[in-house]
A and B are shown apart, each in its own frame.
Chain A
Amino acid sequence: MTTTTGPHPTRRLILQGAVSVALIGLGNLPFAASPARAAANDKYPEEAFKQKSEADAIKALYGRNAEPSDKVKLDAPEIAENGGVVPVSVTTTLDKVSSISFFVAENPYALAASYKFAEGTIPAVANRLKMAKSTKLVAIVEADGKLYSATKDVKVTVGGCGG
């Protein structure tokens, strides 16, 4: 019988090696390009979608913070009867918009959707999101390399988690 109690020395070494390789990989990939381009590249932002808190998701997606702006208009119902389908839209008067993202603070994973805009695409988008419970909703607009945000509280009467 070959029961191993506790981590085997070599296995630990291998694991450590794997972790450091992963760390190096992480260090190189997102930060090789400047954070400003984090949302502008073509890859699906897997890491950002895995972050639980809204602050971590914003950091993972954009690498910095947004400043509140009245040029970002976030439209969502004050009270959503069905958290499974909440119509949400953003319009902005800002120029050179390259992306707009939605974060639902109280959801298990905060980042809901991120949209990339080409030149000539009107900086506005409407979509429908799930909300687990009453929550703060944040929209971030990336314009000319800067981040602007708008926030709104949505009261949810029936959460969007049930079947």
Chain B
Amino acid sequence: MASSIRVRANANGDITEVQALIQHPMDTGLVKNPNGELIPAHYIQELKFECNGKDVFVANWGTAVSKDPYVKFSFKGAKKGDELKISWTDNKGGSDTTTAKIA
């Protein structure tokens, strides 16, 4: 199955810029479906970026993060070819992990 995570990590000198796009409904639990029933909350709670054995960036998300979330950040200390590990877990116990080579 295709990964829910799409990542682009580019090293420019000492700084690596990371952009990630994740496929996830991010349901708030406050919206009703066309039959008038509440759609239960379903959202990513934690998203982690790990590089060379270190958590470089951790996101804690609530329901106010948009559907199919996007996040961008940069960090130092990695070089081209290093692996970046990305993983998320949601409030229903779902999760996904992927790795990306820094380009």
- Please report A residues at the B interface, Cβ cutoff 8 Å: 42, 44-45, 49, 84-86, 89, 104, 107-109, 111-118, 120-122, 124-131, 160-163
A111-B62, A113-B65, A114-B59 known; 7 new pairs, CB 8 Å cut-off, are A49-B63, A89-B72, A121-B76, A122-B73, A126-B71, A129-B65, A130-B26
**Is B10 located at the chain interface by the 8 A CB criterion?**
no
Known: A104-B64, A127-B71, A161-B30. A115 touches B59 (CB 8 A): yes
**Identity of the chain A residue whose Cβ is nearest the Cβ of B48 in the assembled complex:** A116
- Please report B residues at the A interface, Cβ cutoff 8 Å: 15, 26, 28, 30-34, 45-46, 54-67, 69-77
Contact partner, A118, options B15, B30, B54, B60, Cβ 8 Å: B54
In the assembled complex, which residues on chain A have CB atoms less than 8 Å from the CB atom of B32? 163
User: Could you give 16 example pairs across A and B, Cβ below 8 Å?
Assistant: A45-B60, A49-B63, A86-B66, A115-B59, A115-B73, A116-B55, A116-B58, A116-B59, A117-B57, A121-B75, A122-B75, A127-B65, A130-B26, A130-B66, A131-B64, A162-B31
Contact partner, B56, options A86, A120, A130, Cβ 8 Å: A120
**Identity of the chain A residue whose Cβ is nearest the Cβ of B70 in the assembled complex:** A128
Q: Contact check, B75 vs A44: say whether CB atoms are below 8 A apart.
A: no
**Identity of the chain A residue whose Cβ is nearest the Cβ of B71 in the assembled complex:** A127
Report the separation of the CA atoms of residues A127 and B1 in the bound assembly, to the nearest whole angstrom.
26
Shortest A83–chain B CB gap in Å is 10
Shortest A138–chain B CB gap in Å is 13
**Identity of the chain B residue whose Cβ is nearest the Cβ of A115 in the assembled complex:** B59
Shortest A84–chain B CB gap in Å is 6
In the assembled complex, which residues on chain B have CB atoms less than 8 Å from the CB atom of A162? 31
Shortest B60–chain A CB gap in Å is 4
In the assembled complex, which residues on chain A have CB atoms less than 8 Å from the CB atom of B58? 42, 115-116
Q: Contact check, A121 vs B73: say whether CB atoms are below 8 A apart.
A: yes
In the assembled complex, which residues on chain A have CB atoms less than 8 Å from the CB atom of B57? 115-118, 121
Shortest A20–chain B CB gap in Å is 28
Q: Contact check, B72 vs A125: say whether CB atoms are below 8 A apart.
A: yes
Q: Contact check, A84 vs B59: say whether CB atoms are below 8 A apart.
A: no
Report the separation of the CA atoms of residues A114 and B60 in the bound assembly, to the nearest whole angstrom.
5
Shortest A39–chain B CB gap in Å is 9
In the assembled complex, which residues on chain B have CB atoms less than 8 Å from the CB atom of A118? 54-57, 75
**Identity of the chain B residue whose Cβ is nearest the Cβ of A110 in the assembled complex:** B64
Shortest B35–chain A CB gap in Å is 12
Report the separation of the CA atoms of residues A126 and B75 in the bound assembly, to the nearest whole angstrom.
14
In the assembled complex, which residues on chain B have CB atoms less than 8 Å from the CB atom of A44? 45-46, 60
